[in-house]
Structure 1
């Protein structure tokens, strides 16, 4: 009887709105989990889940016997969690709102209006430069701007606004260069700024402990939609960070393929040009 009642509510021939309601909620939670996946918000959600489950058990099973604990959960801890959610999940909420803003701006040209040939040149130069830096054991951090403007970070460094080239990147990150420290911001086919300080990621949970350069690469990718390319000074390993997720030990060919996919540039254009 219960199954028949459930089927009558979910039958699309009777009313499609119930299934539409379930689909919208499922897509919403899938989007939320995609944003927080790989971040410290997962551990925060687990902790909140434990507290809420304890409050539910105490409130339903032992409400009469554990009156003091029940009062504490219902009047202090639960309201504190509700008030603390915007504070605890501030980075994730910011990323979610920025993601909505980017998806609602589909008609604009991404990546600062750069065309495919310019982006293909940028990819080629970055891959060539990082491969040479990796062979020489020189650390580097290259941040590629996409739809989220990085001008506020560029203003903290040294504005260059010069056309990107492999020799220029090599000179910037050469150890004795005054601009070798910190990051380089690339906008389209131009190097916007060098010696830029990036926000450090607070996600340090995991089997591997990242250095300052890798934490900066993760930090800017967590707060914006920028792509970070990192060359480790200790191992020479090349890594790519996007949306807080890092792929390490890349070669020049693999890095080119990943950058082309993220920047939506067909590599076939390189053969045609």
Structure 2
């Protein structure tokens, strides 16, 4: 009788925990999207290959093995958006670029959001909610949003309640799309945002809300929406949306999420 003993050392436990954490993060990134169905399909394909090999079905095993052989490349192609979001999550969390670039060292005071910008945003959202004026406001945090700003009209103006209201006025030429606020300036208007493919978004939320969720998934920016149909204000960050919030709640979110950035 042969007894087999499995010995687990400290590094083995750390290894298991790190793998579990990695799988959990992957699941969180693809949960609620069509990518989860692709992931399940690939997993079933891999199980079928293992079964074929176990049954010694040489021809079919060799055919499936060709696909398995390029599995890593296929995963990169299929999950390129999810991989991008995962790397963005790591980069945003540790924010190496912000810490070590000389430009940010000398221009730190220009980053973040100031109290008067918050007041301007709150005033505009309150007025637009009452008049049921649709709005989509993106507030940059660490991510560089220049590529998104270039899809619209570059403005580079001081943020004010009247400016935001005039941009989103229904007959204004720049009202269609999003405005991007960065470095205490209104960087651009009429910008096109990526739309989320999350299948769990309620049908009551329209394209404006889907774009807000998509932008918060693709970058670390925070997004405010005002519904044109109901006048409800929503706040989006990290792919999570808080709907029907009040002006005091919006202030609390902004001050809390941009703590350390407000000056």
User: Same fold judged by TM-score > 0.5?
Assistant: yes
Deviation at 1:38, TM superposition (A): 4.2
Deviation at 1:129, TM superposition (A): 1.7
Q: Deviations over 1:219-259 (max 9, x none)?
A: 22222211111111122222222222222222222222222
Relative to structure 1, the CA distance from residue 262 to residue 37 in structure 2 (aligned partners, 3 Å threshold; closer, same or farther) is farther
Deviation at 1:104, TM superposition (A): 4.6
2:148 counterpart residue number:
153
Deviation at 1:141, TM superposition (A): 0.5
Q: Which runs of 5+ in 1 are unaligned?
A: 11-15
- In the comparison of the two structures, how many residue pairs are matched? 257
Q: Which moves more between the two structures, 245-254 or 33-42?
A: 33-42
Q: 1:107 aligns with which of 79, 99, 109?
A: 99
1:83 counterpart residue number:
73
Relative to structure 1, the CA distance from residue 139 to residue 104 in structure 2 (aligned partners, 3 Å threshold; closer, same or farther) is closer
Q: Deviations over 1:128-158 (max 9, x none)?
A: 3222212211111001111111112222322
Deviation at 1:69, TM superposition (A): 4.6
Deviation at 1:212, TM superposition (A): 2.6
* TM-align CA RMSD: 3.2
CA distance in 2, matches of 1:104, 1:117: 14
2:222 counterpart residue number:
227
1:19 counterpart residue number:
13
The question of 1:213 aligning with 2:201 is answered no
Q: Which moves more between the two structures, 197-206 or 154-163?
A: 197-206
Q: Normalising by the residue count of structure 2, what TM-score does the alignment of the two structures yield?
A: 0.81
Q: Which runs of 5+ in 2 are unaligned?
A: none
**Contact 1:225 1:243 (C-alpha < 8 Å) held by counterparts:** yes
**Contact 1:148 1:224 (C-alpha < 8 Å) held by counterparts:** yes
CA distance in 2, matches of 1:248, 1:104: 29
Q: Normalising by the residue count of structure 1, what TM-score does the alignment of the two structures yield?
A: 0.79
